[in-house]
Amino acid sequence: MEASTEHAIARLTELYRLMARIRAFEEVALAAHAAGELPGYLHPSIGQEAVAAGVCSVLRRDDRITSTHRGHGHALAKGAAVRGMMRELFGRAGGVCRGKGGSMHIADFSVGMLGANGVVAGGIPIAVGAAQGLRLLGCDAIVACFFGDGAINRGPFLEGLNWAALYRLPVLFVCEDNAVAAFTAACSVTAGPGAVARAESCGVAAESVDGNDVEAVAEAAARLVARVRRGDGPHLLHARTYRLLGHTSTDQAAWRDPAEVAAAKGRDPIARARQRLLAAGVAETVLDAILAEARAEMEAARADALAAPWPDAAEAWEDVQDIGAETMEQA
């Protein structure tokens, strides 16, 4: 086997593992939610793992990302610790945000993950500012900014494109086009041809990619990240994918066209990567072991979270502000 082919197989195997871990994390978290173990609700990204995995696989550890309400995959792909994330979803002590954020506000600054966001398009201004700050500090790290196809109808998208282009900031905009914005087909509320055309209108070079083909995502992201890093200014990657589940863990998505969902399942990014690996001669047992390991890792994280203590009530008063913070006694 040629070295380059071998390398490609090894790389795809790692992407497969990463996608499998993201899927397993969410499946386990959804099961925990259904079992009443986990407060609140979740925004699953099942079916979209290739975008997070492909893009983050070409980033450096000191590169930053901003994420969305559907951000488990982004955080895991950037290297956030699984147990800290799972405990956060459970609202337990030892959560990566000490139980103050939950699923929708996962952040792990130690790996450059500057935060999920409960506000659609909320991460875009933060991403361009982070890029500006990094440049001011003389650092060559870049920022990848994830947002959905619904976010392109909010003002910060236009502002952020213009801003990043104006100052030639090191930002890779990543539009995760999963065809829906909550319960509405995104195309039914979006005028014109969409994210790529809007980016190009601001002078931001953009391209579309099959977002369920993890190798294609990684290849496109690698190319664009290289340009962004060498100072060519912001770029936009438009990744076409599909949200296989409902908007949240409480939405059974019964309102969706079953034929559309069935067709999308046939394009499942994990199944496609698996087919490719099998065709390249990787043994089925190897791939099954990857799935089993991912599952076991996440089940162990679930058990750890369930056994973890709740945060001390006094912590509710911590980390508001240094100056003028109210104390528990004042309440």
Partner 1 sequence: MDAALAPPPAAVEPITLVEATRRAVAQEMRRDASVWVLGEDVARGGIFGQYRGLIEEFGPERIVSTPISEATIMGAGLGAALVGTRPIIEMRIFDFALCAMDELVNQIAKIRYMFGGQAKPAVVIRAPHGLWRSSAAQHSQSLETWFAHLPGVVVAVPATPADAAGLLVAAIRSDDPVLFFDPKALFAATGPVPSAIDPLPFGVARHEQWGDDLTLVCWSSIVPDCVRAAEALARDGVGVDLIDLRTLWPWDEAAVLASAARTRRLLVVHEAVRAGGFGGEILARVVERLGPGALKAARRLGAPRLPVPFSPPLEDAMRVTEAKILAAAKSLLAA
Ligand X SMILES: Cc1ncc(C[n+]2csc(CCOP(=O)(O)OP(=O)(O)O)c2C)c(N)n1
- Cα separation, 1 vs 216, whole angstroms: 22
Which one of residues 324, 327, 329, 331 is an interface residue with partner 1 (CB under 8 A)?
324
- Residues in the interface with partner 1 (CB under 8 A) total 51
> Closest by alpha carbon to 137, among 60, 56, 68, 64?
64
Closest CB to partner 1 among 72 and 272? Answer: 72
User: Which does residue 151 touch among Mg ion, ligand X, partner 1, none (CB within 5 to 8 A, set by kind)?
Assistant: ligand X
- Cα separation, 201 vs 236, whole angstroms: 12
Judged by CB under 8 A, the stretch of 17-25, 107-115, 184-192, 267-275 that binds partner 1 is 107-115
Which one of residues 13, 41, 105, 203 is an interface residue with partner 1 (CB under 8 A)?
105
The residue assigned the tokens 């994420």 is 67
Structure tokens at 289: 């072991």
Minimum CB distance to partner 1, residue 70 (Å): 17
Contact 27, 222 (CB under 8 A): no
Structure tokens at 247: 């908007």
- Cα separation, 81 vs 94, whole angstroms: 11
Judged by CB under 8 A, the stretch of 67-75, 161-169, 247-255, 293-301 that binds partner 1 is 161-169
Check residue 229 for interaction with partner 1 (CB under 8 A). no
Closest CB to ligand X among 182 and 222? Answer: 182
Check residue 328 for interaction with partner 1 (CB under 8 A). no
Structure tokens at 243: 């949200």
Minimum CB distance to ligand X, residue 119 (Å): 5
Minimum CB distance to ligand X, residue 125 (Å): 13
Closest CB to Mg ion among 110 and 184? Answer: 184
| Residues in touch with ligand X (CB under 6 A) | 68-70, 118-120, 148-151, 178, 180-182, 186, 243
> Closest by alpha carbon to 234, among 174, 155, 194?
174
Characterize 57-71 residue by residue with b for buried, 16 or more Cβ atoms within 10 angstroms of its Cβ, and e for exposed.
bbbeeebbbbbbbbb
Minimum CB distance to ligand X, residue 55 (Å): 15
Check residue 180 for interaction with partner 1 (CB under 8 A). no
- Cα separation, 166 vs 147, whole angstroms: 20
Minimum CB distance to ligand X, residue 122 (Å): 7
Chain Cα centroid distance, residue 31: 20
DSSP symbol at 103: G
Judged by CB under 8 A, the stretch of 100-108, 205-213, 220-228, 300-308 that binds partner 1 is 100-108
Point out which residues pair with 236 in neighbouring strands. Answer: 173, 206
Check residue 134 for interaction with partner 1 (CB under 8 A). yes
| Beta-carbon-side half-sphere exposure of residue 56 (alpha carbons within 13 Å) | 29
Query: Given the rule CB under 8 A, which residues bind partner 1?
Result: 64, 66, 95-101, 105, 107-110, 114-115, 117-119, 122, 124-137, 139, 143, 155-156, 159-160, 162-163, 166-167, 318-324
